[in-house]
Chains A and B, each alone.
Chain A
Amino acid sequence: EAGVAQSPRYKIIEKRQSVAFWCNPISGHATLYWYQQILGQGPKLLIQFQNNGVVDDSQLPKDRFSAERLKGVDSTLKIQPAKLEDSAVYLCASSTGTVQETQYFGPGTRLLVL
């Protein structure tokens, strides 16, 4: 079974530029999560999708971050404009259903904002 795929793996941009990350969850997984992991910290949930609907985006900085999950499969997370403090690893995870089901994580995208 293929795991959660993410691209790109690394990205370096300058502040005020925009950037987009892509995630392809495990086939058949209805729930998709985006996490931000700042160096030295645990992952922080940004947004959770159930199929193509948003379940929780309470910690998503909506003035600069946006995410979508068209057709309930792939998802993209965008930052526009980026700030220095957005430097982090962005992790995508998927699960079959409720939050207590095992979440399977992708390898992450490491973003550096200069």
Chain B
Amino acid sequence: AQSVTQPDIHITVSEGASLELRCNYSYGATPYLFWYVQSPGQGLQLLLKYFSGDTLVQGIKGFEAEFKRSQSSFNLRKPSVHWSDAAEYFCAVGPYGQNFVFGPGTRLSVLP
């Protein structure tokens, strides 16, 4: 069965600094990969997704993620963090024909 790990439970960065959130998955083939963001009291919002093709994926709000097959990783990045990016971030894996498995999440705090 597929699984997702997000090694960092909580990350704190200063506003304007760069950000990288890690995601590793376990699955026998190339999965479909997603990053979602959840702000306090809000539902999850899709940031970006990878199905195939270019391994660098652009998403909303200035986020991007890179799929690295050799490392079974799909790390999320942003060059300059804004205070409004403070939220919980979830990586999800969805092998074709099956439903998502979400990682445990990484909470991002942003210092002014």
Contacts and interface: CB of A to CB of B under 8 A. Distances in A.
Interface in A1-42: 3-4, 33, 40-42
Interface in B77-112: 90, 92, 94, 96-105
A78 to B, nearest CB: 21
Interface residues of A, number: 22
Interface string B49-66: 101000000000000000
A105 to B, nearest CB: 3
Nearest to A9: B41
Nearest to B102: A42
A91 B104 contact: no
A45 B96 CA distance: 16
A91 B41 CA distance: 11
A107 B44 CA distance: 8
Contacts of B98: 99
Interface residues of B, number: 24
B4 interface: yes
B99 A42 contact: no
A41 B99 contact: no
B102 A44 contact: yes
Given A41-B105, A42-B90, A42-B105, A99 B100 contact: yes
B43 A107 contact: yes
Interface in A70-114: 91, 93, 99-100, 102-108
Interface of B: 4, 32, 36, 41-46, 49, 51, 90, 92, 94, 96-105
29 contacts: A3-B43, A33-B99, A40-B105, A42-B4, A42-B90, A42-B101, A42-B103, A43-B90, A43-B100, A43-B102, A45-B99, A48-B99, A91-B44, A93-B44, A99-B94, A99-B97, A99-B99, A100-B32, A100-B49, A100-B96, A102-B46, A103-B44, A103-B46, A103-B100, A104-B43, A105-B43, A105-B44, A105-B45, A106-B43
